[in-house]
Structure 1
């Protein structure tokens, strides 16, 4: 266990140093994040014209939702799907198949290093911009539960994306599938609009999918209240539900990973 932790730290630090050389790529987020929020501001201000509340949200609450969701996204951002499919497509994955450490753990260590750098270059500046320029309330209602929920969201986003990347072992060209799936994932996670704005039957479906635990749930935990498909759940119980969903996703990812490895070695590697 100590050797595994040491390996994760070494991989994470190496990834940190590698991306630090290209930190200007991350700095672009300092423009993208605020511009995206301004677009949301103008859209929702027009939508709320003539009404005080919409689906239980005031304009201020709606803007807080998008501000909090954007900030959380900087902490949980992931590209494991793209990276894995690139390795499979170019044949470079074989170098990882021969290593004692499973690739999913290597990829997770890379994400830890990447987001550690992103925390300083992306998260902190955007947090301050949203807090002092846009006036978004960015102090969680229950800090401890918010930290736990965001950490679980970090893992859930990684595992969902990694499962998408694993489709490259069965599909010759998985790029189209990846893009469609990730778009549906973002919609189902509540990234573009709170899930309570969907029809009731859609909410009932989304409630049982893992995607809400990527954006919608940590954002609602941050706010301090949760409602979806007619269910109002307390924050401790909601985080417990998130723990269970993350554990189930981990089992699914490992099963899919082992199936992919059997297929990989079964074609001559």
Structure 2
């Protein structure tokens, strides 16, 4: 992992201007969100059980956390399948899933330096938002599990290329639904109770919503209120189950690979 991560780090460092652009895009997008929520809270003190300041902090945490867990394994995998380049990985004595995870570690290590730290500083110094986790250790564990969960879910989406070859349309729709169900656009507690009950049993909340809640020090969804250690334990269990699903999809999908494009 160290070798692949280091090579990926150096490779993407050559295109660091792409990441540096987020220094402008991220804060500008956050400024737009602040304007929207300021308008929404102009006539109300609380929406969905959250006040204005709590809402702003929620989206600030969501934004900086995305710089850590961001992933493109779905696009990369379907590209390898579509072009036939995946054939070379079948000849290598290493799991492609582990190889892809190692690439993500290298890519996000660079993202941590060029995206997370600068934007965190902008929020602190420019907006006066001091993001300090309620418990640093539990937050770090939850973010790590979210990091793995995002990878596994995206990798499974990428593996649909074994059946579809080109997954552009599927990916486009899925990414929107994924982020919606993960609490990226709005907190999951904003949804009607019936929908919250469904979202509670889906894996997407463990990508973003749970790490953000752990950062804040409390968790609630669909009437469930859990302690931080308990919800992180559920998150770990969800990651293990997601790994099992990815393993099953691999064994079913590899039988369909025909080396198209090679």
For 1:252 and 1:137, locate their aligned partners in 2 and report how far apart those are by CA, in whole Å: 38
Partner of 2:148: 155
For 2:166 and 2:68, locate their aligned partners in 1 and report how far apart those are by CA, in whole Å: 30
Partner of 2:195: 202
1:25 equivalent in alignment to 2:18: yes
Partner of 2:48: 55
Which among 20, 30, 37 is matched to residue 30 of structure 2? 37
Cα deviation digits, residues 50-103 of structure 1 (max 9, x gap): 221112111000000000010111000000000011111111111111111111
Give the drift of 1:42.
0.6
Q: How does 1:5-154 map to 2 (within 5 A)?
A: 8-154=1-147
1:226 equivalent in alignment to 2:208: no
Identify if the C-alpha distance between structure 1 residues 136 and 93 changes in structure 2 by more than 3 Å, giving closer, same or farther. Answer: same
Give the drift of 1:137.
3.0
TM-score (norm 2): 0.97
Give the drift of 1:265.
6.0
Partner of 1:172: 165
Quick one: higher RCO (CA 8 Å, sep 6+), 1 or 2? 2
Over the aligned positions, Cα root-mean-square deviation in angstroms equals 1.3
Aligned length: 261
For 2:90 and 2:225, locate their aligned partners in 1 and report how far apart those are by CA, in whole Å: 45
Runs of 4+ off more than 3 Å: none
Which among 167, 184, 187 is matched to residue 180 of structure 2? 187
For 1:220 and 1:136, locate their aligned partners in 2 and report how far apart those are by CA, in whole Å: 17
For 1:22 and 1:67, locate their aligned partners in 2 and report how far apart those are by CA, in whole Å: 26
Partner of 1:245: 238
1:254 equivalent in alignment to 2:247: yes
For 1:136 and 1:250, locate their aligned partners in 2 and report how far apart those are by CA, in whole Å: 36
For 2:114 and 2:72, locate their aligned partners in 1 and report how far apart those are by CA, in whole Å: 17
1:236 equivalent in alignment to 2:222: no
For 1:215 and 1:205, locate their aligned partners in 2 and report how far apart those are by CA, in whole Å: 16
TM-score (norm 1): 0.95
Give 5+ residue unaligned stretches, structure 2. none
Task: Describe the SS at the equivalent of 1:232.
Answer: strand
Give 5+ residue unaligned stretches, structure 1. 1-7
Contact 2:146/2:207, CA 8 A, preserved across alignment: yes
For 2:199 and 2:127, locate their aligned partners in 1 and report how far apart those are by CA, in whole Å: 31
